[in-house]
């Protein structure tokens, strides 16, 4: 990775503070210097804030992505047959899509190397959900990662120390300096990890709405366009879907409840909205993996993999390979029986239909419960979560159960039940849910 010791970091901060632009070598020197500890936190924080306030042009954003990508090991999976395809979601409440999606796509002949993250804030994290499977390990070596991908076409792990180490360090600093919500930083963070995985193509799920990282649709569209542009600059064909996360996705929210619902999808019994997003993304990945000539053909392949049981078999192979207890997978309901449970019931004025279930309220309640974390060092309860019994458009009467909440202990239940009850609003008229997948971006245009 490029480093020029003659470059003065203070000069870079000054120039960016005064709306100047930085060269590729200057940005690479900053990234390398901070990653190895030559640049202290206070100077790096000043640099991040200057860039956040004054902006970065496309060349600077591409240089930042390149420097972060090459701060560690960039994997070469070319010796493993097939076009390797991954998916990235910007996250949302109840977004467990990666868990059923990856085995569905792998069952259709597309190798899926997936490096995921932990939850921070209200959107949850794939690794926390997977680790609620007893014994499941997301900490594989790169050699184990490669071997499992070659053998079963599917692997799901966390970021290793030698994959984009600059991102790990810079993200932690962004989180405590109020510089997270800046598109060039977001793009560089996401893609430095994804491009280092050894993929040949990428499919993106960019969400907007109450339960999403980007709540405004216009900002989510801008992020999608930017991610596709940057990814394709690095030679990776990329498609982005724009999906609605104004209300929780599916019925399960939390850790084990989302694993249980993922199993429902793999057995053909998942909620319609979750199946819609999962199958649409699967079709895009199958086409990107050159296993189908059209999205329509790929969609039928994905559905066939569920009907035949091949997708579920692939999931079981992955769980076994990564140390998970298959008994929990085969009987997911039994694991919930060990949890403490309580219901949120409809209030006395709940007459008619559910108008809305606010995803942000649900996500915040799950943090109170212990299903998520506000700080990276927070512990996560593997059983914590809820099952929503009443969603938008459902009829409701006073006293009916709106949701069942689960946790390992009763300690956090009262506060959770109180905050979760605020998520529901009611109407005398039924409001039918809108489609989750709202648009598709590729080849420089929106087309759905």
Which neighbouring-strand residues pair with 202?
A: 86, 238
Q: What is the CA radius of gyration of the chain?
A: 22
Give the CATH number, domain containing residue 412.
Answer: 3.90.1170.30
In a domain, 61, yes or no: no
What's residue 386's pLDDT? Answer: 95
Is 364 an annotated catalytic residue? no
Active site residue 88: yes
317 and 360, same domain (yes or no)? no
Whether 21 and 97 share a structural domain:
no
**Average pLDDT for the chain:** 93
84 is catalytic: no
Check whether residue 387 and residue 413 sit in a common domain: yes
Shared-domain flag, residues 99 and 201 = yes
- Catalytic-labelled residue, pool 63, 89, 189, 305: 189
Is residue 74 situated within a structural domain?
Answer: no
User: What is the domain count for the chain?
Assistant: 3
* Position 41 in a domain: yes
What is the per-residue pLDDT for 264? 97
Of 16, 88, 194, 412, the catalytic one is 88
Whether residue 241 has pLDDT greater than 80:
yes
Q: Identify the domain containing residue 28 by its residue range.
A: 9-55
* Full-model pTM: 0.94
Catalytic pick from 193, 236, 335, 373? 193
Active site residue 390: no
The more confidently predicted of residues 23 and 128 is 23
- What would the mean pLDDT of 215-227 be, rounded to a whole number? 96
Same domain, 354 and 264: no
**Quick check: 380 pLDDT over 90?**
no
The catalytically annotated residue of 168, 174, 316, 364 is 174
**Is 193 part of the annotated catalytic residue set?**
yes
* Same-domain pairing of 282 and 408: no
Catalytic residue of the set 86, 128, 167, 381:
167
């Amino acid at each position: 990775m490029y480093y020029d010791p003659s470059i003065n970091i203070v000069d870079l901060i000054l120039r960016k503070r005064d709306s100047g632009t930085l060269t590729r070598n200057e940005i690479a020197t900053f990234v390398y210097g901070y990653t190895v500890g030559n640049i202290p936190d206070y100077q790096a924080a000043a640099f991040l804030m200057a860039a956040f306030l004054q902006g970065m042009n496309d060349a600077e954003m591409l240089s930042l992505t390149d420097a972060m990508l090459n701060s560690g090991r960039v994997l070469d999976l070319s010796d493993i047959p097939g076009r390797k395809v991954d998916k990235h979601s910007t996250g949302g409440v109840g977004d467990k899509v990666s868990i059923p999606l990856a085995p569905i796509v792998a069952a259709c002949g597309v190798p899926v190397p997936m490096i995921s993250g932990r939850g921070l804030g209200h959107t949850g994290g794939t690794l926390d959900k997977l680790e609620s499977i007893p014994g499941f390990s997301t900490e594989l070596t790169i050699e184990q990662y490669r071997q499992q991908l070659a053998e079963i076409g599917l692997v799901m792990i966390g970021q290793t120390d030698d994959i984009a180490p600059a991102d790990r360090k810079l993200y932690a600093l962004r989180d405590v300096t109020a510089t997270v919500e800046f598109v060039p930083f977001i793009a560089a963070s996401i893609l430095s990890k994804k491009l280092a995985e050894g993929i040949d193509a990428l499919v993106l799920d960019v969400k907007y709405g109450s339960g999403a990282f980007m709540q405004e649709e216009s900002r989510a569209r801008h992020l999608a366009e930017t991610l596709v542009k940057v990814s394709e600059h690095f030679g990776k064909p990329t498609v982005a879907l724009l999906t609605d996360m104004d209300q929780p996705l599916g019925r399960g929210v939390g850790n084990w409840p989302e694993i249980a619902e993922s199993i429902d999808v793999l057995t053909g019994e998942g909620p319609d909205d979750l199946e819609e997003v999962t199958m649409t993304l699967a079709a895009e990945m199958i086409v990107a993996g050159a296993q189908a000539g059209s999205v329509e053909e790929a969609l039928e392949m994905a559905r066939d993999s569920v009907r035949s049981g091949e997708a579920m078999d692939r999931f079981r192979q992955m769980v076994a390979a990564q140390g998970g207890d298959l008994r929990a997978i085969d009987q997911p309901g039994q694991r919930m029986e060990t949890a403490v449970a309580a219901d949120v019931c409809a209030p006395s004025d709940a007459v008619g239909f559910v108008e809305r279930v606010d995803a942000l309220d649900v996500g915040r309640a799950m943090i109170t419960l212990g299903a998520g974390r506000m700080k990276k060092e927070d512990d996560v309860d593997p059983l914590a979560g809820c099952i929503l019994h009443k969603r938008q458009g459902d009829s409701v009467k006073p006293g009916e159960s709106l949701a069942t909440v689960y946790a390992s202990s009763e300690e956090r239940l009262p506060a959770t039940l109180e905050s979760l009850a605020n998520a529901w609003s009611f109407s005398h008229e039924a409001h039918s849910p809108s489609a989750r997948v709202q648009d598709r971006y590729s080849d420089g245009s929106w087309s759905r």
